[in-house]
Structure 1
Amino acid sequence: MSVYRVLSLGSAIIIISGCQSWQLGRLPPTAAVPDKITPGMVEVRYYDGISGSSLSNLVGSAQFPDNPNVTEELTELSIAGGRGDNYGSYVRGFIVPPATGDYRFYLASDDNAEFAISTSDQPSEVRVVATVPNWTGVQDYDKYSSQASGIISLSADKLYYFELRHKEGGGGDHFSVAWEGPGFGQSVIGSAYIASWAQPTEAPSQSSGESYNLGYRVGFVDGQNGLAFNPQFPPEDQDKDGLYDNWEILNGLDPQNPNDGTSDPDGDFLVSADEFLIGTRENNPDTDGDGIPDGAEYAYGLDPLDNTDASEDMDGDGYTNLEEHNAGTSVNDANDTPAPAEPTAVAGFTAQYFEGSNFQRLVAVEVQDSVNFDWSRGQPRPDMPD
């Protein structure tokens, strides 16, 4: 197993572990590879003086990948262009999805380029998912069908290794990688969702999973509340209760009281330590405001940070999760349903008016005293056709 050291910059700190096995080419010299994963940026390597517009010209060069002419940092997966002619680009690092779900990636470039992503943090599992065979306009993702990947399922806050290779011949030059996923449309992958590649080093005393979770929460707290990020690791925890001091202060707890980690001030059935790890608010019993308390959502297997799951029907019994919670029935047992509401009787007949002879569109619903109509060839209502 290989373990990566803590990363730190602005929005997060992360440690990740896994079995390392590089199969796509030679690793750069050890001295050239950082031993810290840094969030919010990735390294781009430029190889100058390589003619041709095909990736084969780049990867066949003696310069690739160990000897770039220039190394720079990118805070999003794109370059605007105007750098010049006859060069190649190589970017690698990690993508960190904001939510669990299905994603699609898009690649644009001038000239030839390919984008590859792994099923994990390991380079050995990387595969090409999008290519530009010739050239496109800036952020034009529709010229070739190969520019778009298929649907790729990713997990929230997990690191996925990626590579981008790009070759510029003459004329315009640029590249960009966009994505779309749960709750957002097509957009260039920005700094909040990338982290740099790093060399494995010695394992810390804390497990990688624990360190990752703690590091992510610290960065999230600071970034969400506009606080100056403190790269110290482990993060400040004066009372040693496992809660980040800034989080305790923001949630009305005492960073010098080791007992408040097991308290539940907002009465949502989640103690403070659990709220910190889950990402919910200690002083708000319903962090996502969907009507179901945080602790109940966590117990049901719902997401206390997603207000859309209250309107879903987990057990498929015809009642939403919120309706079941309010009725005191189980959201994951189709045989446990709320008592049906008593029917309300209204005198008369219910009349439904549709547009189209095949009842294509419901226009109105009325209560009529009797069934006795004669519209001849006219309109039954002003808002309907003849």
Structure 2
Amino acid sequence: MQCSNLISENIDSCYTVALYKWNIPFAYTTSKEKNFNVKSKDITILPLGKKKVTITDDSIPKPKGNLKWVIANPQQFGLYRVKYDKRNWNALTDQLVSDHQVIHAINRAQIIDDAFSLYATEYQSLAIALRTLEYVNNEEEWLPWVTAQKWIDYIGKNIESTSEFDKYKAFVSDKVENIYTTLIVDSNNYTHIQLLLKDIIYDIGCSYGSPLCVNATIQEIAAWSLDPENLSDEAIDEEAYCLALSDENSNYWDFVFEQFKSNNDSTIRGRRIDALACSTNVDNLERLVEFAKTSVPEAIKIAYALGRHPAGRELEQIEVGFYIYLIINEFSTDEELTKFERFLEDVKDDIGDKPDINYYLQLALLDMKIWNDWLETNLPSVQSWLTGLGY
């Protein structure tokens, strides 16, 4: 058995790579032993050049017929990923859901990261990886949440423009609700790690529309509106700010708009543009567009901010912002991709003598097509998983 890792020698290119190989210090534990404290006597060195090593141990569960599990690399003693058969993955995810603390926190993080990393490199299915997130509503340790956040955001970003995103947001919001309530209430006596965990949970909750986060943010804006001379929106999380103002009937959009216009700090104005553009109220968005016509330096930023959101993309006035959004983010629905292709056709004569612009436009188009291929391949798995969970 051997482990290899492709490491790019040029940060601007993935064409030149060096192949590194190393001996693997292999160890394992099982559902019978549950021994995660690895000692030297537990290590078997798997040397280079040997493709298969057989280990005989009665505690290792049989390939079929039970839900017992084996975990390789306890507490990540070695530097390698572990791919299991489907039966063992299911046994591990079932264990996490029923009692996650049976498995060491380092290995809980490892299970999530290995499952998704192996999926990302096409060594196993997305369905297996997604199941590793189902237990996290009971997770209270920092390391598994750091890992979970990375892959939660990976899936979220990829499906953001699809009809499944609202269901996914509901799933993520449900998963953070319990720990969000526990951590946000009182953090005066928390350790450094607990404070880091609090930040992660707050970020996830606000990014995916947790009602707890939205309500808390609305209360902050309400307090600010009552005392604008002494309070501000500086500490409000960006995602939470966006969610709080996205409601079509938000009572505070007008207030934030007036505060935006009266402030001369470019950083503060930029944050408020991003929040105001989240509105789903067309009248509010058109007011923002009209303001952009009077503020040339901020016109592109406003157009881009509006182009980030479905309601904003419906406005004819922000077509340029819509294309900037697509070029920068490289994500689009089939309909948006077709619209962008028509745009490229319409402007090809205008950019004929500007090869640099044409290069980046074509590169953006290629990335959008790659993302659409990802959706075609993977979205059915996400849909099936969310449906199976009742979303």
Q: TM-score, normalised by structure 2?
A: 0.24
Higher strand share: 1
RCO higher in structure (CA 8 A, sep ≥6): 1
| Larger of the two Rg values belongs to structure | 1
Q: TM-score, normalised by structure 1?
A: 0.24
Higher helix share: 2
